[in-house]
Every structure is written in structure tokens, then in C-alpha cells.
């Protein structure tokens, strides 16, 4: 059940504010001389290095624009390996010797800055080389103004690298992967008669999140410290309580959404908001797709604006994948396709036989890529928090598979079998001269698949709600680039032997489908039967984040990333190191927070209640309750002692060992504490219970 409702129909608002806080190319065209603009355009479109003189002119235009917008500071805005964004603000104002100040911001300030990078994880890259990193302007993503209560800052999207040139961020590999995809696609497009100067992936990410009242949030140290509840008995009717919520979107939620949207419009982010009721208190926001580099920057901004704006409205936006156990989790569906600068979506089945040939080629490339690199896709969404969601009954399993839908699967099956296509099997004789239009029927939508074809794009659904989408897109771009190359080479070999395009392609498609169709699954991905079937098919089932992260640096993966110039071995190892570290730290904080809350809030509450019961011990009811509470409290105390031991031990010296200790010892011990505490919650008087309940939190009034 999901209700879809547009709350942003006022198109005049759109026209007035859209991109008003974004330094668009259009705006720059007005502000720059013709040659300067041309030079900048060449940089953006063809990656031509920018001339320092031009950089000075652009910087001046940027500064003038930003000051007009009320900005007092500027920052190089970047994406460190934490998956968050980072900024260091510098004032435009530079004091003069006369005691006044002038606004200063030149080409050098624009192009490069040297933030004190020591507080960002580098996975060991900086430790052995240079302690410093630098940020470099990414001219392909527009600068923007970030507003806060007392002012505004010019944000310059940048890449973050070490002085030895190694990527310390998520953007550089993303840009490199876009280039890899571009090169691979450009090589094959001429075979299909398609003209393009540039090919890039396109991306639209649907962000799910929860909203709760700030008052409850502040009363839950677990939410404040870890982003999820570490305690909380399920309300009696759990998820079915949906119907309470249905149809009554509280005014404050609507006004929060409108506020957030307006800010996002101003930032040039084409939001198309909907809210749905998968779980009580859960919502979704989705922009229209954009080139993937820009979509990745915009996605970070969406998360930031949601979080900041909710606070202004007395609420908190929870982006964690599983803030409430037993209630639906949150994902971030990444809709991904490949597009040309001439406006062709290469994953859109066309109206004519010719364009279907290219569609089938690119589609087959994706099928091969997902099958060969199941591990990489799983790794790209691996985190301690996403482990609570993947494989649960409301999220795609940790097993990668592709939902193609019956129509498209049928097309491939007929290609292989040669049936239903006349005497001589041929691509264009698939029963109909032209492929059917494939926008799927509602009934053909499979929501249990981690990777689904949805008519003219693929939707990667295993991505977690709190994570940066940069790594998942980087992986997709890279693995598909490789598959395009592999299939493209086979195609060319066929053509060289004198085969027609149709014949050569048919062979490539048949061969690819036969080899990789084990990855296609159109059934129920939540079912136990699928888990068994997947095992029979030899598909990977990397249940936990650590099982996945372990494989990041495998020979296959290192070779792939090196071949496509996306990540060298050191950069890859660094990322693995950081992933272990983040896993370890986040679970470690959870373990300690669990201990702390149980020891200092829940136990004292239960014991105080016992003391109260003592006072009326002559009552049969009191005696009975006291006995039950005593038993449950002792169970909690036992579980707590066991957790304390695990928290005190770290399991080893390396982040690798520590991460495994967290998964294998701390998480289970936390689970026991929670089980005991949740049982106690149902026994202890509400006024003795120190934490707001799930019921309190999930229904925003
Ligand atoms: P749902 O999955 O809920 O049915 P929609 O069909 O409304 O979602 O759209 C999902 C997302 O897919 C939107 O963000 C949309 O912009 C995006 N999308 C549509 N076409 C493309 C494309 N060619 N490339 C990438 N994303 C796309
Ligand atoms: Mg979706």
C-alpha cells in the first residue's frame, strides 16, 4: 500500500526559485567573457585542464555572484571516505593593512585548497606518504550557496586527494568510472550507428527516511549516539498500525516537506516528492534523474537538507537503515541508466529495430556485469547498519540477482532457443519485427529484487538509506564498462569474420545469456525457496557486511579497478581498511551505548519499580508482578555483565580483528541485552520506564 501525493504543484514557485542558489552554466555565461566561458565549457565537457588566467576570471565571477547572494564564506565541499560530506569555511574577507577588509577569492583559491586533512580517514594512505591532502575544484558539478540561520556559504564541489595523487574521497573514483564507461560505450556506439560526444551514467535516487519528534529523539540516547534504537518493545500491532496513520499527514510534516523542497529547488535539485506509508513515520523523497556525478552531489545535499530542516520544524529525520527493529527499514533505490549527450537512453527499448539492437547489447552487458561482479555490488552497499535491513523480510536479500520481467526474459529466452522466430532465427524476427515496448505493467513490478529492470533503467535497491551513492555508482559504471568491452570485442570479432551486425550480435547475446542467466530471477526474493535456489545456482550469499568487505581487494577486483583506472591497489586497500574501521567503530559505539543505557537507565528504573512494589507487598498483584520483574531484571543484569566483557575486549589490534569481534561477539551480546530489556519494558510501570516507547515515537502528531 502506498499513497502517492504531489505536494509541489505550484509551478510558479518552481520557476522563481529553481536553481536560484546554484551557479548554473547559464548564469556563468552571462557573467563571463565569451572566450572565458568557452574555455570553461571545454573543461567541463572535455576535461581540458583549466588555464590559471581563466580560473581567475571564473573565481571573480563566482565571488561576485556569491556576495550578491549574501555569502560571507566559501568552502571546498568534498566527500571523504566516511560517506559524509566535509567542508572547511574560509571567509571571503581578508584584512587590509589599513584595518579594513576586502573580499578576496582568486583562481588559486578556487582551484585548490589544502584543508587540514588529518581528521579524515585515509586508510593508511597519508600515514606513509604525506600528511596532507588537497581539494581540487570539480568544474562539472555547479557551485551552490548553502544557507543557515545567520548567513550563507559558497560551496565549491571538489575532489579530495593526497599530494601523491591518490584519491582520498568518493568523488575521484566516481569521476574516473564515468570516464571508463564513456570510453567503453564510445567504442561500440558506431556499430549501432549512434552518434555521441559523451556517454555517461544517469542516476535518480529515491531516499527513504523516518521522522520523529525532536522531544523523543532527545530522550533516546541510543538515537542520538547511533541513529537507531537499541531498545524498544514492538507495539502490539506493529506494522499494521499503518491504518492509523493513513490519510492524515500532519500539517507539520507537510510544512517540513515543503520547506525542504524549496531549499532543494533553490539548490537546483529537481525534487519530485512523494511520501508513502510503508511504515508509520516513514517517508520518501526522490529527485528526477541527473548525470550521476551531479546526482551523487545532490544526494548528499538532500540528506543534509532533510536533517537540518527537520530540526527547524521540531523533528528529527532518521536516515539510518533500521532505526526501529521489527518495523520496515529504509533504503535508497538507485535508478541507473546510460545516456548520451545527444539525449539517447541506451537502456530504453526503441521504436525501431535498429535501436533495439543497441538496447539488447547494453542490457546483456549489464546482465553479465552483475553476474560476474555480484561481490562488488554487495560490497558497495556493505555497512553495519545495512546489515539490519538486507535479508530481512522487507528488503532485498544479500544475494544479488536481476529482475528482468517476463517480457524481456522471454525475448532473451527466444533468442537462445531460436523458437518463435521463423525458419532462421534472427534478432529482428522475435515474433514481432520490433521489440515490444517494455515499460512494465504494474503487476510486473517486483519489489523483492535487489536489481530490477524497470522499463528503461535498472533499479539497484540494496543501497542503504544513510550511505553515499558514490561507491555503488562507481561499481556499476566500472563493471558495465568492462562488460561493454568484453561483449564489444566479441561483436567486432564476428564482424571481422564478415558476419552482419545482426548475426554477430545474435551470437554475442546468445552466448552471454547462456553463460549468465543464472543471475536472472523474476520470483519472490524474500522467500526461503529462493535462498536454496540461489545456492544451487552458485550465486554468492554474502550475509554480512564483513563477508562482503573481505572480498574488495580480491585479485579479480583489484585487476578490474586497475584496468579501468578507477582505483589502484593502494586506493582499494585503503577503502577496505576504512570500511572495516567504520564497521568496528559504529558497532563499538552501539555496544557501549547499550551498556550505558541498560546500566544507568533501564536497570535503575526496574529496581525503583521493584522497591515501589515492595511497599505494597501484601497485595497479591504486587507480589506477582514483583516476582516477574525480579526474574526479568536478573536476566537483564546477566546479559549486561556478558556484554560488558565483550565491550572491554576489542578482539585484536587490527581494525580487521576488531570488526570481527564486533560482529561475532558484541552484536550477539547486545542482542541478548535488548531481548531482556524489551521483555522488561512490558512489565515495568510506564512512569518508571526511562525511554520513550516505539508507540510514542512512530506517530508524529
Ligand atoms: P518507483 O520506483 O517508485 O516506481 P519512479 O518510476 O517514479 O519510481 O522513478 C524512480 C526514479 O527513477 C526517479 O528518480 C526517476 O528520475 C528515475 N529515472 C527515470 N529515468 C531514469 C534514467 N534514464 N536514468 C536514471 N534514473 C531514471
Ligand atoms: Mg523505486
Residues 244 and 351 in one domain: yes
Residues 204 and 140 in one domain: no
| pLDDT at residue 446 in the model | 75
Highest mean pLDDT (candidates 46-60, 109-123, 212-226): 212-226
Residues 537 and 598 in one domain: no
309-319 confidence digits (pLDDT tens): 999 999 999 99
E strand or H helix at 695: helix 694-698
594-626 confidence digits (pLDDT tens): 999 999 999 999 999 999 999 888 899 999 999
Q: Which ligand is nearest to the CA of 461?
A: 2
ipTM over 0.90 threshold: yes
Residue 248 domain boundaries: 180-567
| pLDDT at residue 128 in the model | 46
Residue 442 has pLDDT above 50, yes or no: no
- With respect to residue 7, please indicate whether it lies within any of the assigned structural domains: no
| pLDDT at residue 425 in the model | 44
As a dihedral over the C-alpha atoms of residue 238, residue 586, residue 76, residue 154, rounded to 10 degrees, the angle is 30
For the segment 279-286, the average pLDDT, to the nearest whole number, is 88
Residues 589 and 473 in one domain: no
Maximum Cα interatomic distance, the chain, rounded to a whole number of Å: 98
- With respect to residue 109, please indicate whether it lies within any of the assigned structural domains: yes
Contact 695, 616 (CB under 8 A): no
Sign of the torsion angle spanned by Cα atoms 663, 669, 675, 680: negative
Number of domains in the chain: 3
Distance CA 80, CA 568 (A): 17
| pLDDT at residue 241 in the model | 52
CATH (domain of 400): 3.30.590.10
Residues 533 and 601 in one domain: no
Domain ends where: 567, 596, 616?
Answer: 567
CATH (domain of 593): 1.20.120.1560
Residues 259 and 397 in one domain: yes
Contact 598, 640 (CB under 8 A): yes
**Helices marked H in 568-666:** 569-597, 603-615, 620-648, 655-661
If you measure from the C-alpha of residue 514 to the centroid of ligand 2, how many angstroms do you get, rounded to a whole number?
29
pTM score of the predicted model: 0.93
Domain ends where: 135, 169, 203?
Answer: 169
Residues 137 and 193 in one domain: no
- With respect to residue 383, please indicate whether it lies within any of the assigned structural domains: yes
If one residue of 286, 292, 330 were mutated to test the ligand 1 pocket, choosing by the most ligand atoms within 8 A of its CB, it would be: 286
- With respect to residue 306, please indicate whether it lies within any of the assigned structural domains: yes
| pLDDT at residue 514 in the model | 96
If one residue of 206, 340, 345 were mutated to test the ligand 1 pocket, choosing by the most ligand atoms within 8 A of its CB, it would be: 206
**Helices marked H in 340-405:** 353-372, 374-379
- With respect to residue 37, please indicate whether it lies within any of the assigned structural domains: yes
DSSP track, 175-212: HHHHHHHHHHHHHHGGGGT---S-EEEEEEEEEEEEEE
Domain ends where: 534, 567, 600?
Answer: 567
Residue 341 has pLDDT above 80, yes or no: yes
CA–CA distance from 208 to each of 83, 184, 233, 308, 332 (Å)? 17, 33, 23, 16, 6
CATH (domain of 156): 3.10.20.70
Residue 700 has pLDDT above 70, yes or no: no
If you measure from the C-alpha of residue 604 to the centroid of ligand 2, how many angstroms do you get, rounded to a whole number?
45
Residue 413 β-bridge partners: none
If you measure from the C-alpha of residue 184 to the centroid of ligand 1, how many angstroms do you get, rounded to a whole number?
24
Residues 117 and 184 in one domain: no
- With respect to residue 9, please indicate whether it lies within any of the assigned structural domains: no
Ligand 1, CB cutoff 6 Å, lining residues: 202-204, 206, 286-289, 333, 335-337, 345, 456-457, 459
| The three cell numbers locating residue 147 | 544557507
For the segment 452-466, the average pLDDT, to the nearest whole number, is 95
Residues 615 and 476 in one domain: no
Higher pLDDT, 445 or 494: 494
If you measure from the C-alpha of residue 455 to the centroid of ligand 1, how many angstroms do you get, rounded to a whole number?
10
| pLDDT at residue 343 in the model | 93
As a dihedral over the C-alpha atoms of residue 370, residue 373, residue 378, residue 381, rounded to 10 degrees, the angle is -80
Q: Which of 81, 68, 171 is closest to 117 using CA atoms?
A: 81
Q: Beta-carbon neighbour count of residue 430 at 10 Å?
A: 22
Residue 672 has pLDDT above 90, yes or no: yes
Residues 325 and 442 in one domain: yes
| Mean pLDDT score of the chain | 88
- With respect to residue 90, please indicate whether it lies within any of the assigned structural domains: yes
- With respect to residue 4, please indicate whether it lies within any of the assigned structural domains: no
Residue 101 has pLDDT above 90, yes or no: no
Residues 336 and 294 in one domain: yes
Residues 127 and 184 in one domain: no
Distance CA 590, CA 593 (A): 5
Amino acid at each position: 500500500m502506498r499513497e502517492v501525493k504531489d505536494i509541489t504543484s505550484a509551478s510558479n514557485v518552481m520557476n522563481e526559485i529553481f536553481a536560484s542558489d546554484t551557479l548554473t552554466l547559464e548564469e556563468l555565461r552571462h557573467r563571463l567573457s565569451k572566450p572565458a566561458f568557452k574555455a570553461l565549457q571545454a573543461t567541463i565537457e572535455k576535461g581540458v585542464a583549466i588555464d590559471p588566467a581563466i580560473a581567475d576570471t571564473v573565481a571573480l565571477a563566482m565571488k561576485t555572484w556569491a556576495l550578491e547572494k549574501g555569502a560571507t564564506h566559501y568552502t571546498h565541499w568534498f566527500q571523504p571516505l566516511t560517506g559524509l560530506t566535509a567542508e572547511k569555511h574560509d571567509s571571503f574577507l581578508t584584512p587590509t593593512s589599513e584595518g579594513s577588509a576586502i573580499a578576496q577569492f582568486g583562481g588559486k583559491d578556487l582551484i585548490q585548497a589544502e584543508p587540514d586533512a588529518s581528521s579524515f580517514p585515509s586508510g593508511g594512505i597519508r600515514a606513509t606518504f604525506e600528511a596532507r591532502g588537497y581539494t581540487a575544484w570539480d568544474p562539472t558539478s555547479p557551485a551552490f550557496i548553502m544557507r543557515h540561520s545567520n548567513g550563507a556559504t559558497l560551496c565549491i564541489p571538489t575532489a579530495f586527494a593526497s599530494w601523491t595523487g591518490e584519491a582520498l574521497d568518493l568523488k575521484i573514483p566516481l569521476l574516473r568510472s564515468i570516464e571508463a564507461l564513456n570510453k567503453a560505450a564510445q567504442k561500440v556506439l558506431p556499430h549501432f550507428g549512434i552518434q555521441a560526444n559523451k556517454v555517461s551514467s544517469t542516476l535518480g535516487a529515491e531516499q527513504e527516511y523516518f521522522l520523529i519528534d525532536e522531544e523523543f529523539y532527545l530522550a533516546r540516547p541510543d538515537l542520538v549516539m547511533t541513529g537507531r534504537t537499541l531498545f524498544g518493545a514492538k507495539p502490539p500491532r506493529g506494522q499494521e498500525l499503518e491504518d492509523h496513520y493513513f490519510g492524515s499527514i500532519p500539517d507539520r510534516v507537510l510544512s517540513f516537506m515543503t520547506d525542504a523542497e524549496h531549499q532543494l529547488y533553490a539548490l537546483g535539485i529537481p525534487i519530485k516528492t512523494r511520501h508513502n506509508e510503508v511504515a508509520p513515520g516513514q517517508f520518501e523523497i526522490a529527485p528526477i534523474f541527473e548525470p550521476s556525478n551531479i546526482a551523487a552531489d545532490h544526494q548528499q545535499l538532500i540528506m543534509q537538507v532533510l536533517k537540518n530542516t527537520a530540526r527547524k520544524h521540531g523533528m528529527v529525520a532518521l536516515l539510518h537503515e533500521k532505526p526501529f527493529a521489527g518495523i520496515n527499514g529504509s533504503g535508497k533505490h538507485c535508478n541507473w541508466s546510460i545516456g548520451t549527450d545527444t539525449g539517447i537512453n541506451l537502456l530504453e527499448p526503441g521504436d525501431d529495430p535498429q535501436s533495439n539492437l543497441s538496447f539488447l547489447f547494453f542490457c546483456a552487458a549489464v546482465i553479465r556485469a552483475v553476474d560476474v561482479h555480484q561481490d562488488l555490488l554487495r560490497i558497495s552497499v556493505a555497512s553495519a547498519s545495512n546489515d539490519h535491513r538486507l535479508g530481512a523480510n522487507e528488503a532485498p536479500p544479500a544475494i544479488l540477482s536481476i529482475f528482468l520481467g517476463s517480457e524481456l526474459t522471454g525475448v532473451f529466452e527466444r533468442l537462445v532457443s531460436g523458437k518463435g522466430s521463423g525458419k532462421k532465427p534472427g534478432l529482428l524476427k522475435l515474433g514481432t519485427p520490433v521489440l515490444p515496448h517494455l515499460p512494465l505493467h504494474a503487476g510486473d513490478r517486483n519489489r523483492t529484487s535487489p536489481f530490477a529492470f524497470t522499463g528503461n533503467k535498472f533499479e539497484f535497491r540494496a543501497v542503504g538509506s544513510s550511505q553515499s551513492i558514490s561507491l555503488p555508482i562507481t561499481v556499476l559504471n566500472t563493471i558495465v564498462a568492462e562488460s561493454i568491452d568484453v561483449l564489444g570485442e566479441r561483436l567486432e570479432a564476428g564482424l571481422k569474420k564478415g558476419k552482419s551486425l545482426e548475426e554477430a550480435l545474435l551470437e554475442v547475446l546468445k552466448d552471454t545469456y547462456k553463460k549468465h542467466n543464472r543471475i536472472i530471477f523474476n520470483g519472490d526474493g524474500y522467500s526461503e525457496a529462493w535462498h536454496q535456489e540461489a545456492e544451487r545456482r552458485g550465486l554468492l550469499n554474502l550475509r554480512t557486511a564483513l563477508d562482503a568487505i573481505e572480498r574488495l581487494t580480491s585479485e579479480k577486483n583489484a585487476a578490474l579497478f586497475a584496468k579501468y583506472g578507477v582505483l589502484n591497489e593502494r586506493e582499494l586497500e585503503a577503502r577496505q581498511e576504512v570500511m572495516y574501521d567504520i564497521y568496528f567503530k559504529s558497532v563499538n559505539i552501539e555496544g557501549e551505548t547499550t551498556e550505558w543505557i541498560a546500566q544507568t537507565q533501564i536497570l535503575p528504573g526496574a529496581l525503583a519499580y521493584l522497591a515501589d512494589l515492595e511497599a505494597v507487598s501484601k497485595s497479591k498483584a504486587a507480589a506477582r508482578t514483583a516476582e516477574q520483574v525480579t526474574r526479568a531484571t536478573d536476566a537483564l543484569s546477566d546479559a549486561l555483565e556478558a556484554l560488558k566483557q565483550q565491550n572491554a575486549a576489542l578482539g585484536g589490534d587490527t581494525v580487521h580483528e576488531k570488526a570481527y569481534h564486533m560482529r561475532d561477539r558484541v552484536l550477539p551480546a547486545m542482542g541478548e541485552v535488548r531481548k531482556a530489556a524489551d521483555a522488561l519494558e512490558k512489565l515495568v510501570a510506564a512512569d518508571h520506564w526511562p525511554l520513550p516507547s516505539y508507540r510514542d515515537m512512530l506517530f508524529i502528531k
